Structure 1
Amino acid sequence: MNHQERTHAVLSASGAHRWLLCTPSARLEEQFPDTTSDAAREGTLAHELAEMKLRHYFQTKEFGKRKYNAEVKKLKTEELWQDEMDGYTEIYKDYIKTLALSFPAEPYSAIEKRVDFSQYVPDGFGTADCILLSGNTLHVIDLKYGKGVPVSAEENPQMMLYALGAYQAYSFLYDIRSIHLVIIQPRLDSISEWECPLGELLEFAEYVKDRAKLAINGEGEFCPGEKQCRFCRAKAQCRARAEENVKLAFNPDKGKLPPLISNKEMGKYLAYGEDVAKWLSDLKEHALKECLAGREVPGWKAVEGRGSRDWTDMDAAFEVLKEKGIAEEILYEKKALTLAQVEKTIGKKDFAEMVGGMVVKNPGKPTLVKESDKREAITNKITAEKAFQEEQ
């Protein structure tokens, strides 16, 4: 499949977390161009490599070693190619290979399968990265190459829509009773799995049908929030989001209150402020674009930021300096690459084999996250176990 030419439905599976919560947003977004980024193009390239690896594994006769090597060679000529893509997509392939080998018989596999869930969502379709069918279980597996935040497979609307499409395609051949969803994010060392009975998926389908009917007509109530606004193309100009964030930022609770806020209130205000900060950032970015395009934003203007200096010809300049008696040692400094740069240069696998035993992972600086974060909470309060160890 040519990943660059993937088409997207108005009510896309990837945007379901948005239009299911904020139904009018899908039509509102249509007024704004659907732009891409280097990170998105890099993800597309990684998906193409991952697809080739799975085809080579599951469809060896049609996609043999010679064809596989030729296709990978083409990918390596792409501007955004990184050697580390090979290792990260290998993690994805190895997971699927291990899963397939765990079944009592070879599973049915579909790679980059276009699935249709229009029975529940008007003109609804999408592309599932990998589908495996074995026994009574439908497995839907998704590769996410980004390195932003871990994405959970639990009740994930995008994955559940893919599963609905796959169920529609294969239920007449397979007695599907269970749904197994997997999201693999190799750059975050994250594999999230979730399983549910078919009945739960079909209950979700009925909920989706009602919400999709509103969304396709641009109806329903706007429901701004950090999760649904994050990738919305209308986020900078959305009136509902603006009003919600102004309310959160400038309308504190009324009434007689103590002079100091409690920890409970602190948690509440942190949650309130999270999208306020993002909204202001989005607003400033959009206002700058408007000013640069020659359109007036009252009270604001675009100016040139602080510039920087650079050589017109560094080698020639250094030659002049050396001719004037400046020692070469003063002009250059010997600087080691960082651990991450060395690993990227020689490859993750070779790095682990050669010097993996000489690496120690230092604890990170404490940071505040939401309670839903999977990492273990830390505290400066010493535990009884540690205190006993110190006494010993």
Structure 2
Amino acid sequence: MSAGLTYLPPSGLWMLCPPSHKLCGGTAAVAKAISHDEGYGWGQVSANEEQGQEYHRLAADKLRVRLGTQDAARTDDLQHYDAMMAERTEQYCDEVMRICRERYDSEQDVRVVIEEPFELEICDGIHCRGRADCIIYTSVTLDIIDLKSGRGALVSAYRNPQMMVYALASLDLCADADPEIRLTIIQPALNNISTASITRAELLAWRDEHLIPAARQTVEGAGSYHVGDHCRFCPARPTCRARAEQMQAYVSSVQQHALTSPKLSLDDVTGLLDGIDHYEAWARDIRRWATDDAMAGERIPGYKLVIPRNGARKFVSEQAVVDAARRAGIDPYKRVLRSPREIELQVGTMQYEEYFATLISSEACNPRLVPVSDPRPEYRPAKDDFNKEVSPNDTI
């Protein structure tokens, strides 16, 4: 890395909370992640991140095969490869090729760029370095396509910071001064394909009004900490004081309710529910961080590490156990049917639906209280049907 240059990851998380960048290790940590191609995170790559990297590599290989620039997709060294990964990367490639055909029908000279690294100069020696999954461009159009392999929350392409960074870095590919720009996120695990359009003028306005100020604040360690759902991706989340203060404010609100009335009202409970998920996540992060520090030799005042009285038992030699079981006259093995999830992973969703869907029964789940913004349909208790007024025209 050249002296005087600062590199930020394209994920966009630092834009949401600029001072958290230095709290997590700053530019040096990001540079190390970039140099090791670790997805621009901090520290050791998790199993989920490793699986995501393999999804992207396989998807890129398959695209190159379809475009005729590679003979075959490599799978031998993929640790997480299964029928599900094969199927979902095919779904991703199908959608990318559909976009290619759409562009080809309207413009003969279609170019496709797959997993090409880029470097975008934001301002004042601050650069953003990354790797876009797929870019399809003509002289007048620009498609930025991103694969999301996770099955967590739905990801939207609308004003997505990461996608807009990719678009800014790719503007020079188009000869037209005002190309048609489309951002597309493909999330096969959730059957989510999100597409949003943005103009060059809107993109440049976002750069000037949001990206550049956030980049300067991030490098300087300035700006305000912002606590939110994005905190779950931040390595500094257990020790972030802003997050702790928000959780303490939550606890204070609980104490205030207890002081004003011996019994919480429905409004009181609603107010507490608004923050309880964040509080539970914060408590887990604190306990995990303290345990890890204690394991590293740090003394946690008032706490100590202990070994559970009864650890899990396991045999030291499988063959010796088999021999002993035969002498005892028993069979040491048992056959267990794979779970529906395991079979789906083994054969893929399409074959699973074809061969096994009619053989599945689902246990009834207990109702769960969630915010009204949750996309799932509302469950109404049976007693509501008895309480509602019956019209003379209703059939009972």
- TM over 0.5, shorter chain: yes
**Residues 73-109 of structure 1: CA deviation (Å, up to 9, x unaligned):** xx32333333432111001000111122223235322
Which residue identity does 1:287 align to in structure 2? A
1:77 alignment partner, SS class: coil
3-state SS of 2:121 partner: coil
Tell me the residue number matched to 2:184: 182
2 CA distance for matches of 1:360 and 1:174?
56
Number of the residue aligned with 1:220: 223
The structural deviation recorded for 1:354 is: 4.0
Which of the residues 11, 29, 43 maps onto 2:8? 11
Contact conserved, 2:84 with 2:344, CA < 8 A, in 1? Answer: no
* Equivalent-residue separation in structure 1 for 2:132 and 2:385 (angstroms): 47
Q: Give the deviation of 1:35 after TM superposition.
A: 2.0
Question: Cα–Cα, structure 1 residues 252 and 111, in superposed 2: closer, same or farther, change >3 Å?
Answer: same
Moved more, 181-190 or 213-222: 181-190
Partner Cα separation in structure 1 for residue 89 and residue 48 of structure 2: 16
Match of 2:116 in 1: 113
Q: Which residue of 2 aligns with 1:123?
A: 127
What is the TM-score when the length of structure 1 is the normalising length? 0.81
User: Cα offset for 1:147?
Assistant: 2.5
Number of residue pairs the alignment of both structures matches: 364
- Take 1:338 and 1:252, find their aligned partners in 2: how far apart are those partners? 42
Give 5+ residue unaligned stretches, structure 2. 1-5, 30-41
What is the aligned counterpart of 1:155 among 146, 155, 159? 159
1:201-280 correspondence runs (5 A): 201-206=203-208, 207-225=210-228, 227-252=229-254, 260-261=263-264, 263-280=266-283
Moved more, 94-103 or 306-315: 306-315
CA–CA distance in structure 2, aligned partners of residues 164 and 360 of structure 1: 49
Q: How far did residue 161 of structure 1 move?
A: 1.4
Could you tell me which runs of 5 or more consecutive residues in structure 1 were left unpaired when the two chains were aligned. 1-8
Counterpart of 2:303 in structure 1 is 300
Q: Which residue of 2 aligns with 1:77?
A: 77
Structure 1 residue runs of 4 or more that deviate by more than 6 Å after TM superposition: 360-363
How far does the alpha carbon of each residue in 1:158-181 deviate from its partner, in whole angstroms, 9 at most, with x for none? 1121112122x224x134344322
Change over 3 Å in CA distance of 1:246–1:54 after alignment to 2: same
Deviations along 1:45-71, one digit per CA (max 9) or x if unpaired, are 11111111112223x1x32xxx32xx5
Paired residue for 2:294, among 291, 296, 307? 291
Instruction: Give the distance between the partners of 2:268 and 2:66, measured in 1 at CA.
Output: 54
How far off is 1:141 after superposition?
1.0
Q: CA RMSD in A?
A: 3.1
- Cα distance change on mapping 1:196 and 1:360 into 2, 3 Å: farther
Q: Distance in 2 between matches of 1:140 and 1:120?
A: 22
Query: Match of 1:138, SS?
Result: strand
* Amino acid paired to 2:159: E
Asked if structure 2 preserves the Cα contact closer than 8 Å seen for 1:12 and 1:125, the reply is yes
- Superposed CA offset, 1:132-165 (max 9, x none): 2257442211111123322222222111211121
The aligned residue for residue 140 of structure 1 is: 144
User: Greater shift after overlay, 79-88 or 286-295?
Assistant: 79-88
**Does the CA contact (< 8 Å) of 2:238 and 2:286 recur in 1?**
yes
CA–CA distance in structure 2, aligned partners of residues 192 and 200 of structure 1: 19
Report the CA distance shift for 1:361/1:259 in structure 2 as closer, same or farther (over 3 A).
same
Q: Which residue of 1 aligns with 2:202?
A: 200
Distance 1:199 1:41 in 2: 37
Question: Which secondary structure does the structure 2 equivalent of 1:102 belong to?
Answer: helix
Aligned equivalents of 1:372, 1:108: Cα separation in 2: 40
Q: Is the 8 A contact 1:183 1:193 kept in 2?
A: yes
- 2:43 aligns with 34
SS of 2:131's equivalent in the other structure is strand
1:20 aligns with 2:20: no
SS of structure 1 residue aligned to 2:178 = coil
Deviations 1:220-250 (Å, cap 9, x if unpaired)?
Answer: 122223x231111111112222222122123
Q: Is the 8 A contact 1:116 1:166 kept in 2?
A: no
Asked if structure 2 preserves the Cα contact closer than 8 Å seen for 1:88 and 1:187, the reply is yes
Distance (whole Å) between structure 2 residues aligned to residue 339 and residue 310 of structure 1 = 27
Task: Summarize the Cα distance change of 1:78–1:277 in structure 2 as closer, same or farther, 3 Å threshold.
Answer: same
> Which residue of 2 is the match for residue 346 of structure 1?
347
Q: Is the 8 A contact 2:238 2:285 kept in 1?
A: yes
What is the Cα deviation at residue 258 of structure 1? 5.8
Q: Answer whether contact 1:47 1:143 (CA < 8 A) is retained.
A: yes
CA distance in 2, matches of 1:40, 1:274: 24
Partner SS state of residue 233, structure 2: coil
Change (3 A) 1:205 1:192: same
- Whether the 8 Å contact between 1:291 and 1:297 is mirrored in structure 2 is yes
Letter in 1 for 2:88: Y
Shift of 1:347: 3.8
Q: Quick check: 1:374 aligned with 2:375?
A: yes
Q: Secondary structure at the match of 1:237?
A: coil
Q: Quickly say closer, same or farther: Cα 1:277–1:318, change in 2 above 3 A.
A: same
What are the superposed Cα offsets for residues 168-219 of structure 1, whole Å, 9 maximum, x if unpaired? x224x13434432222222233222222333332222122111211111111
Output the amino acid matched with 1:194.
Answer: A
Cα distance, 1:334–1:378 mapped onto 2, change above 3 Å? same
State how far apart, in whole Å, the 2-side matches of 1:81 and 1:154 are.
Answer: 31
- Letter in structure 2 aligned against 1:200: E
